[in-house]
Copies of this chain bind each other. A is one copy, B any other.
Amino acid sequence: MSLVMTADDLNQFLETVFLEVAGEFHVEEVSEDQVVLRLNVSDKHLRPGGTVSGPAMFGLADVTAYVATLAQIGPRALAVTTNCSIDFMRKPAAGVDLLGTGRVLKLGKQLSVTDVLIHSEGMDKPVARASLTYAIPPRGSAADVTM
């Protein structure tokens, strides 16, 4: 697989298209094998006891898979998640960011399948794993974004 967007491209895309999550996510690394996305954990992501909430972890998995797919197909605002399976395995560490590592396992014309591992920064063992399917809109449709 080859890359058509860099980490800078992807960060600019997120800031342009997903204003409502601007500042929440940052693309740290993009390579042919994987992308790494940071969730800048703040109060709104926390549950009682100071641990990151399930929806915040789901959101990180979702955006990681989206970014991993876009890195290979270019900017498409309308790609939509059709399925997610997620296992919550450990409690996230308090006071540190979460990192999502995404690997695209299949990139078809209509669907992509991406595996995501989520770690508390600095920890070895993953706090969650997820796999996500994205439906990719046809090329040339209104979903192509000119940046």
Residues in A lying within 8 Å of B, measured CB to CB: 17-20, 46-48, 53-56, 58-59, 62, 77, 80-90, 105-106, 110-111, 113, 115, 117, 125-126, 129, 131, 133, 135
Query: Would B86 and A84 count as touching, CB distance under 8 A?
Result: yes
Pairwise interchain contact A47-B20, C-beta atoms closer than 8 A: yes
> A19: nearest residue on chain B (CB-CB)?
B48
Closest 4 CB pairs of A and B: A85-B85, A55-B59, A89-B106, A58-B58
B89 adjacent to A81 (CB under 8 Å): no
Check if B81 sits within 8 Å of A83, measured CB to CB.
no
CB-defined A-B contacts under 8 Å, sample of 6: A18-B48, A20-B47, A53-B59, A82-B87, A83-B88, A106-B125
